[in-house]
Structure 1
Amino acid sequence: MSTFEDNASIKNSISSVISDYYQLTKPGITIAVLASMLVGFVLGSGAEINFAVMLHAIVGTYLIAAGTGAHNQFLERNYDGLMKRTAKRPLPDNRIDSTKGVIFSLTLIFAGLAYLILMVNPIAAGVSFATTLIYLGIYTPLKRVSAFNIAIGAIPGALPPVGGWAAANGSIADPGMWLLFGIVFFWQIPHVMAIAWMCKDDYSGAGFFMVPKNDLNGTKTAFWSTLCLILLIPITFMMYQFAGLSLIFLTLGMLFALIFLFYGIRFAMHRTKEHAKKLMFASIAYLPLVWIAVFVDLFF
């Protein structure tokens, strides 16, 4: 019985360690990065998809995205410990030693970079590495300086479909690819601002500038969120014109953009945490629905 209990304890301990390292990779964000990359890959492939290259792109992108998320948590471990929503993350909660955390994150980043160079192409690797550098080198420190970090952070957030497109055809010159970038860029700003407005006291207590300066009643936050939501409408139309998509995508894409805008306007009118929460949920639904619209258009 004692041996059985010891074995069970060891298994539970190993499982807990694996779970903590998995949490360190920000799995939700990493999966979203992979989904955006795949949309770019499929659209950039044209008439024929190279599934072998696609698989390599998935592996390499996962490694570098997971490493980037882990390194972000390493850099912000002390500040995460000051916020309720992040205090129980593995590093601030001391479930993973910071030295082990940084070794883990950098290993994933450079393994992913090398994998993309060798198994996909250098351009796709370059886009992914640029994503990492902007996210960690500019966006992460800027969060403690200015709310402009939201716009800067939207750049690496919008680069995964560019990386996917580059993985498919080795080019970053196609207009359809940059329209995909635009959709994710202008989606991300209201998404982040809705979360920032909901958690503004938590962010402020940790020294993060996640809402515009002196925006006590949310006027600036509502303005920039609504502006980005409005811009999604012409970008959706241009996707129909320049990315080889049909009326199926145009109809669904416009519908989703208008619904998203509706919740943005509701937040702009009321500017409460309740309406910010509704905008956040609308943003969580919007992007996967748009990607589904792309795949429905292409394959059905």
Structure 2
Amino acid sequence: MFRHALGISKHIALPDVCFQCASIARPIAQQRSLQITARRQLASIRGQALDRSYFGSRSPDVSNAFRHTRRRRRKDEEKPLPLDASSTLAQSASQAPARSIRRLISTYLALTKPRLAFLIVLTTTAAYSIYPVPAVLSSNVTAAPSLSTLTLAFLTTGTFLTIASANTLNMLFEPAHDAKMSRTRNRPLVRGLLSKRAAMVFAIATGVVGTGTLWLGVNPTTALLGAGNLILYAFIYTPFKRLHPVNTWVGAIVGAIPPLMGWCAAGSQYSTKAASPFDIGTVWEEAKDLLCTEQAIGGWLLAALLFAWQFPHFFALSYAVRQEYAGAGYKMLTSTNVPMAARVSFRYSLLMFPICFGLIVLQGDRACFRRHKQCHQCMDAERGMAILASQWRERKC
């Protein structure tokens, strides 16, 4: 501790008289003499000139010696989180002419939270693209999956529209709270760039068109998952943010459903019980076949991986703005119980290891995974260790 506090290398000998020994109760003259001796020896070790204006009350620099001082220094060095994409687009729209096409497009695009929507669509299409083709349908065990490009287009479009509807409803319900946070105070409804009525019409239109696209262009099971996710995010997660910290678990379920949608979209192309969009009686049979069979294991593992990942991801982001969350009335775990948030984040980081191991075991039996099996194993292990190390450091601080 003494070397670390004073910045002395472990290869350099310490002075014969330390400050603790010099501070032991002695006659004032003797104590001052010992302190001056210790300071002179320390100055010679550091190669620095002795400060002639010495006072006995001066203490060594211990700004980096204690955990709370290191935490305070890191907090002072923290940079504020950048504005979200909605706020950036809203700022751009406010600078455009009042009735211009650019202003209109930027405003409505800001309602969709485009960056978040793109990432969610990416998890959906990723699950779709790695769905294993049954061996009986593949001419070569190393062949790439043969999936419909048209189905992928419907899946991407429908998923984006349902996400846009959910995000618009989220903004529609929270303008007063968004106005209290620096990252969200520039959103379009907060700035008055759009009326609430127009936002509601946009949310209903995108929700109906998105769900219809998934129902007719993909399959009813995927459409029901998308509609359920919209309801879960807009009408359960959004109000729960102001009621109880359990909202993070609800939000994690919302993030876990899109990979399952992509998996079901691909699986329906090889299902023997595919439902007709116009025959309601076959929807339940198709859902059981896509979600409750051996072929669905991969989709559930991907959903579990996204579920576990969201806790270290979201807690790391919300911790940086925990005071703003508390000021806006949100009951986030990082603002109500930071130690508990660190423990939860660490535990779910650990949970990612068995989930990834399950994917590795699964891909060993799937033809479409074998070509890049070793690469996937290395990437899973490397990312898991990086997340775990980061969460361990955060838990210790």
State the shift of 1:84 in Å.
Answer: 1.4
Aligned to 1:68: 166
CA contact (8 A) 1:44 1:166 kept: no
SS at match of 2:291: coil
Structure number with higher relative contact order (C-alpha < 8 Å, ≥ 6 residues apart): 1
Amino acid at match of 1:225: S
Q: Determine if the alignment matches structure 1 residue 233 to structure 2 residue 320.
A: no
SS at match of 2:333: coil
Alpha-carbon separation, structure 2, partners of 1:135 and 1:141: 9
Aligned to 1:122: 220
Matches within 5 A, 1:146-165: 146-165=244-263
Alpha-carbon separation, structure 2, partners of 1:12 and 1:251: 53
Unaligned runs of 5+ in 2: 1-95, 134-144, 269-289
The equivalent position to 2:207 in structure 1, one of 109, 114, 132, is 109
SS at match of 1:226: helix
The equivalent position to 2:242 in structure 1, one of 144, 147, 151, is 144
The equivalent position to 2:155 in structure 1, one of 30, 34, 57, is 57
State the shift of 1:247 in Å.
Answer: 2.4
**Percentage of identical aligned residues:** 28
The equivalent position to 2:315 in structure 1, one of 193, 200, 209, is 193
Matches within 5 A, 1:1-300: 13-44=100-131, 46=133, 47-170=145-268, 171-173=290-292, 174-211=296-333, 214-215=336-337, 218-243=338-363, 244=366, 245=369, 246-270=373-397
**TM-score (normalised: structure 1):** 0.83
Amino acid at match of 2:225: V
Alpha-carbon separation, structure 1, partners of 2:377 and 2:228: 31
Alpha-carbon separation, structure 2, partners of 1:150 and 1:190: 11
C-alpha spacing 1:79/1:11, structure 2 compared with 1 (3 Å)? closer
State the shift of 1:39 in Å.
Answer: 1.3
SS at match of 1:92: helix
Alpha-carbon separation, structure 2, partners of 1:209 and 1:126: 30
Alpha-carbon separation, structure 2, partners of 1:11 and 1:49: 45
State the shift of 1:61 in Å.
Answer: 0.8
Larger radius of gyration: 2
**What is the Cα-based RMSD across aligned positions, in Å?**
1.6
Aligned to 1:4: none
State the shift of 1:42 in Å.
Answer: 1.3
C-alpha spacing 1:214/1:95, structure 2 compared with 1 (3 Å)? closer
Amino acid at match of 2:393: R
> Deviations for 1:140-188, whole angstroms, at most 9, x for unmatched residues?
1110011110011100111101001111123123111110001110111
CA contact (8 A) 2:322 2:335 kept: no
**TM-score (normalised: structure 2):** 0.63
State the shift of 1:14 in Å.
Answer: 2.2
